[in-house]
Amino acid sequence: SQQGEEDPQALSIQEGENATMNCSYKTSINNLQWYRQNSGRGLVHLILIRSNEREKHSGRLRVTLDTSKKSSSLLITASRAADTASYFCATGVNTGTASKLTFGTGTRLQVTL
């Protein structure tokens, strides 16, 4: 079963606009990670936010985490055509002796000129 679910499933914006993607999850987490996947390529790690953090920035990316609502958002500011990709959230959950990373089904972002 999916732990994280992204919303929307698809998003189309124009270059220069901001893009916001949301992720909701079901159980308590240790951390939440965002990944980008370009067509035909593997996933690339963007940012990791721990459960005791509320906001994190990396360049044009801003991630928020609300553990009370079990949700996270990824904001890409001043989007570029090169940001066109699928974006996945992944939740890290500690399970006794190990921890587990579970991926959502992704948001497909299309940035047009």
Partner 1 sequence: NAGVTQTPKFQVLKTGQSMTLQCAQDMNHNSMYWYRQDPGMGLRLIYYSASEGTTDKGEVPNGYNVSRLNKREFSLRLESAAPSQTSVYFCASSQGGLGNQPQHFGDGTRLSIL
- Binding residues (CB under 8 A) for partner 1: these are 2, 30-31, 33, 40-45, 48, 88, 91-94, 98-106
Q: How far is the CB of 86 from partner 1 (least distance, A)?
A: 10
DSSP E strand boundaries for the chain: 4-7, 10-14, 19-25, 31-37, 43-50, 55-58, 61-66, 71-76, 85-95, 98-103, 107-112
**Closer Cβ to partner 1, 41 or 69, answer by number:** 41
Nearer to partner 1, 14 or 94 (CB): 94
3-state secondary structure of 81: helix
Decide whether 98 or 113 has the Cβ nearer to partner 1.
98
